Structure 1
Amino acid sequence: MLEHIELFFKSIFIDNMVFATFLGMCSYLAVSKKVTTAVGLGAAVIFVLAVTVPLNWLLDQYLLQDGALAWLGPEYADYNLSFLSFILFIATIATMVQLVEIVVEKFSPALYNSLGIFLPLIAVNCAILGGSLFMQSREIPTLGLAFNYGLASGIGWFLAILAIAAIREKIRYSNVPPPLRGLGITFIITGLMAIGFMSFGGMLTGGGSEDNVTDAAVAKEEEKKEPAEEELEENAVSFNQAINK
Structure 2
Amino acid sequence: MEHIELFFKSIFIDNMVFATFLGMCSYLAVSKKVSTAVGLGAAVIFVLAITVPLNWLLDQYLLQPGALSWLGAEYADYDLSFLSFIMFIATIATMVQLVEIVVEKFSPSLYNSLGIFLPLIAVNCAILGGSLFMQSREIPTLGLAFNYGVASGIGWFLAILAIAAIREKIRYSSVPPALRGLGITFIITGLMAIGFMSFGGMLTGGDEAPKEEKTASVQEETNENIALNSSEASEDKEIANNIKENE
Q: Deviations over 1:26-71 (max 9, x none)?
A: 1000000000000000000000000000000000000000100000
| CA shift for structure 1 position 117 | 0.6
Flag the 1:185–1:222 CA change in 2: closer, same or farther, 3 A: farther
Flag the 1:159–1:74 CA change in 2: closer, same or farther, 3 A: same
2:35 is matched with 36
Is residue 2:95 matched to residue 1:96? yes
Structure 1's consecutive aligned runs of 4 or more residues displaced over 6 angstroms after TM superposition are: none
Q: TM-score, normalising length from structure 1?
A: 0.88
2:127 is matched with 128
Q: Deviations over 1:67-121 (max 9, x none)?
A: 0000001000000100000000000000000000000011111111110110000
2:211 is matched with 212
Q: Deviations over 1:186-233 (max 9, x none)?
A: 1111111111111111112346646634643653575588689x69xx
Instruction: Classify the secondary structure of the residue corresponding to 2:203.
Output: helix
Mapping 1:57-72, distance limit 5 Å: 57-72=56-71
Is residue 2:171 matched to residue 1:168? no
In angstroms, what is the RMSD of aligned CA positions?
2.2
Flag the 1:225–1:179 CA change in 2: closer, same or farther, 3 A: farther
2:116 is matched with 117
Q: What runs of 5+ residues in structure 2 fail to find an aligned partner? A: 233-247
Q: Deviations over 1:174-196 (max 9, x none)?
A: 11111111111111111111111
- Whether the 8 Å contact between 1:4 and 1:148 is mirrored in structure 2 is yes
Q: TM-score, normalising length from structure 2?
A: 0.87
- Whether the 8 Å contact between 1:63 and 1:69 is mirrored in structure 2 is yes
Higher-Rg structure is: 2
Number of matched pairs: 232
1:106 is matched with 105
For the residues of structure 2 that align with 1:225 and 1:94, how far apart are their CA atoms? 61
| CA shift for structure 1 position 17 | 0.3
- Whether the 8 Å contact between 1:9 and 1:204 is mirrored in structure 2 is no
1:3 is matched with 2
Flag the 1:73–1:30 CA change in 2: closer, same or farther, 3 A: same
% identical aligned pairs:
87
2:24 is matched with 25
Flag the 1:66–1:226 CA change in 2: closer, same or farther, 3 A: farther
Flag the 1:220–1:174 CA change in 2: closer, same or farther, 3 A: farther
For the residues of structure 2 that align with 1:169 and 1:77, how far apart are their CA atoms? 56
